[in-house]
Structure 1
Amino acid sequence: MAWVERRGNKWRVRYWKPDGKAGSVPGTFEIKQAALTHAEQLTTNPEAETPRQHSQPTPPPAAPTAPFRPTGHNTTSEPTVAVAEWAEIWWQTVDVGPNTEAFYRSLLTRHILPRWGTTPVDQITPADVQIWLNRLRDTYAATTITSLRKLFAMLMADAVDNRLLTTNPVRPRKRGRGRVEPRHERAWADEHQVLTIAHRILRLASRNQCLLVITAAYTGMRWGELAGLHRDNLDLTHGRIHITADAGALHEVNGHLTLGHPKTHASVRTVTLPSFLTQLLNTDLAASSRPFVFTTLRGKHLRRSGFQRRLWAPAVSGGRYRDETWPPIRKELTFHGLRHSHKTWLIEDGVPQVAQARRLGHIMEGKIDDIYSHVTASIDARLLTGLETRWHRSLERYRRNLGPQGPQSITP
């Protein structure tokens, strides 16, 4: 029995060999009907010789050539697997966090599978991949293109490991001038801008959500780590926040909120607090019995999109509030920009890079992290002193600019 199978934009004829394996008729057919006709001939006359190529004129005898196949790809007659089929199997091997999984699925369903889903994995060439990515550059940001290349490369690398093909067709771009992308500096805020944002959110919502902004800026913690912070993990006696492995972050995937592990194993850490922040958090928590440190006005988990829309955007972008006009703080500043702000402050204060990494939950190569453990007390004390100085400096300027008749204060 013979059947036809799409091969890119053409068709080929497959059949079962005596050993039970699938074989292919050499060459391809431009149209499906021609392939079907030949498949019927093989079915009715299985002893017939296979065609040299297809229904087009036979090439001159002096120049017979085999069908072109890129070097390094599967050159056997084994049945090939389409990208969509392999992706279904590959998903069962992926071990990532829920947010990363949702991101991967979005890239696959929106970009990779619509273009490559029906393509056999051994028919993808580096040139095809590069042309595809080049065309996407006209529509999508460079970060999106980079993410697509990395995910597709990961998918194909695992296909190589599973012997579906011999080389990975998704390769880093090493030749050509490349495209000169405008370099965008990550937006960050100084201590004065952070205090202004916090005061605005205090007026828009509550002291608790105002403290969320201050804590983010003065600890460098991620949104999920702050939104999922339970009061049991806040040690106000010693001024520490413990980010645990089992429930150290709040994850929001497809509208569902769950507590789980933070971003990486390095994110499991203890973050020390400057004394002013310990006092502010202690005062705020003493006024309620809510289990989590930062919540909505009703004590529910915070959702990033709602906080962004209702509080962050008005506070940062400015506009009218009652009888006032708020000027914008800084263009393109995001909540995650508070984490960049914290790192910038540490750099300005001369904090060693390894101490920055430990505080922010970053991974450092080699044994340099072990060295840090011997000097942690002195470095951490200097780090906290710098943060305390920034806070009081921002308070002094804020009060000087607004005077005693200014809006309600964050401090008790």
Structure 2
Amino acid sequence: MAYGEKRGWDKKARKWRYRGRYKLPDGTWGSVSKDDTGQPFYTERSAREYAHGLEVDVRRKTFVNPRDGRMPLTEWVDVWLETIDVGPLSDKEYRLRLKNRILPQWGHIAVGEITPHGVAVWEKKLRQEFSKNYADNVISTFRTLMADAVTSKLRGDNPVASRTSGRRGRYKPKPKDTRVIATPHQVLLIARNGLAMHGLNEYALVIATAYTGLRIGELAAIHRDQLELDDTGSGARIHALHQSQYVDGKFTEIDAKYDSGRGLIIPPFLAELLREVMAQRADSEWAFTAPKGGRLLRGGDWYTDTWHPMVKGRAPRGVVRGAKARGGIRPILGVDGLLPHGLRHSHKVWLDEDGHPRVAVEERMGHALQGVEGIYSHTTLAMELKIADMLQGRWEQSLRPVVDRREFGPLPAPASQTSI
């Protein structure tokens, strides 16, 4: 039977303090001196009633020992990181978010003392200082961390609000989708810019991304023997079984994202293009390589030096400090802000516009349908061949000249001629 007992005199509050005693699941006596908000008990009755509530939780098997919640978040993070099973890049991102944002704020605080109010204030500040995407990712990591703390009975609830929970404050409408989607003709123009800058491989990489929907990391991990470019009746295919990533500073092949290794039927024009690429790089084991034949890398320099000029254009340059002169690249109109992953999104939009069955579209994208639809829907060869046929039609349409609108923007002026 729970009870309360006097503990000592609180000089600051000028009151007696009490603690509650209650039976633990193992039959021993536990004690509690503060409520859920961290306030001490100043009456025997309040201490006894709180302790009685804990005994009720013990009988209902929902008991969370307040002592366990005294573990500093830093210690819980060390335990938690040993339990998560994610890919190398996700593991790296989790650790960076914890190190840079979560632990500096919360590391010294006990897991059970982190309050929803404190988290809300911190989240508001985080969103003022950083981009929405980055803040969302940090909050998501913190939410998962605290959800696992609840599962481990370190506390009774998750102080990090879920994305679907009701939120107080000013109404904010759902932001519009601002992702840039390219048409097949715009993809062709971007690829031609890549051809002018770095040759056939860059051209083929842009086209292959847009017409397969594969991620850059998946294309980088495709070996030559994973290409079936001769159509024997079931279509030419490209098999994406892995993805290339840096793991501990080394270029490594790991399983495809979400274990979504798959073989895709590709349209005839893409099979012919890949034959040309393979003939040009006959000594390489990889289907896609860097411009000079090495492993395909896509880091920050590539975005700055290659991707952005392919989309936004590049000014011509003469010989500078021994560097060779280079021609200018005209920007592609209508795709400002397009990212490489936007080509994958564009592929999905094309498939949706053409009205292909959802199961075939999602399987091609490497996604799994959930629920009853995922159990009873199946992709057939006829569906795949129809996708390849309609992609071939989109390609042929993209080759036709456009005479009723401008395709390119003005050539960027050299830096020395740009007005300030």
Q: What is the TM-score when the length of structure 2 is the normalising length?
A: 0.76
Match of 2:156 among 148, 166, 186: 166
| Count of aligned residue pairs for this structure pair | 348
TM-aligned CA distance change 1:79 to 1:361, over 3 Å: closer
Q: 74, 88, 91: which is aligned to 1:98?
A: 88
Report SS of the residue matched to 1:119: coil
Residue equivalent to 1:197 = 190
Distance of 1:317 and 1:383 partners within structure 2: 31
**Alignment partner of 1:362 is 2:367:** yes
Structure 1 residues 22-171: aligned runs within 5 Å:
51-53=8-10, 55-59=11-15, 67-70=34-37, 76-77=66-67, 80-171=70-161
Structure 2 gap ranges (5+): 18-32, 38-49, 55-62, 317-325, 407-420
Which deviates more, 73-82 or 364-373?
A: 73-82
Alignment check: 8 A CA contact 1:192 1:398 kept: no
CA deviations over 1:124-170 (Å, ceiling 9, x no partner): 11121112111212122222232222211211121122222222222
For residues 180 and 228 of structure 1, do their structure 2 counterparts lie closer, same or farther at Cα, with a shift above 3 Å needed?
same
Aligned partners of 2:313 and 2:331 also within 8 Å:
yes
Q: Deviations over 1:93-129 (max 9, x none)?
A: 1100011111111211111111111110000111211
**Alpha-carbon offset, residue 190 of structure 1:** 0.4
Structure 1: how far apart are the matches of 2:293 and 2:403?
A: 31
For 1:212, which of 205, 208, 214 is the aligned residue? 205
Query: 2-side partners of 1:326 and 1:142: how far apart?
Result: 31
Secondary structure in 1 matching 2:288? coil
Is 1:385 aligned with 2:410?
no
User: CA offsets per residue over residues 322-379 of structure 1, 9 Å max, x none?
Assistant: 4545134412100000001101111111112221101000121024345443x52222
Which consecutive segments of 4 or more residues in structure 1 shift more than 6 A? 398-402
Partner of 2:264: 271
**Match of 2:206, SS?**
helix
Q: Distance in 1 between matches of 2:157 and 2:9?
A: 29
Normalising by structure 1, we get a TM-score of: 0.77
Q: 1 CA distance for matches of 2:394 and 2:106?
A: 53
Q: Distance in 1 between matches of 2:295 and 2:246?
A: 10
Determine if the alignment matches structure 1 residue 285 to structure 2 residue 278: yes
- Asked whether the equivalents of residues 74 and 122 of structure 1 are also in contact (C-alpha less than 8 Å), the reply is no
Could you say if the C-alpha distance between residues 59 and 370 of structure 1 is closer, same or farther in structure 2, counting changes exceeding 3 Å?
closer
Counterpart in the other structure of 2:339 = 334
Mapped partners of 2:390, 2:157: distance in 1: 52
* Pick aligned residue for 1:320 from 298, 315, 323: 315
RMSD, matched Cα: 2.9
Q: Distance in 2 between matches of 1:273 and 1:60?
A: 79
Q: Distance in 2 between matches of 1:372 and 1:310?
A: 44
The residue number in structure 2 matching 1:38 is none
Specify whether residues 296 and 127 from structure 1 end up closer, same or farther in structure 2 by C-alpha distance, changes over 3 A only. Answer: same
Match of 1:297 in 2: 291
Contact kept? 2:69, 2:111, Cα under 8 Å: no
| Counterpart residue type for residue 225 of structure 1 | E
Deviations 1:222-278 (A, max 9, x none): 11101111112111124111122xxx100125643211111102x211111000000
Secondary structure in structure 2 of the residue aligned to 1:334: coil
- Structure 1 unmatched runs, 5+: 1-25, 27-48, 403-412
C-alpha contact (below 8 Å) 2:194/2:310 kept by paired residues: yes
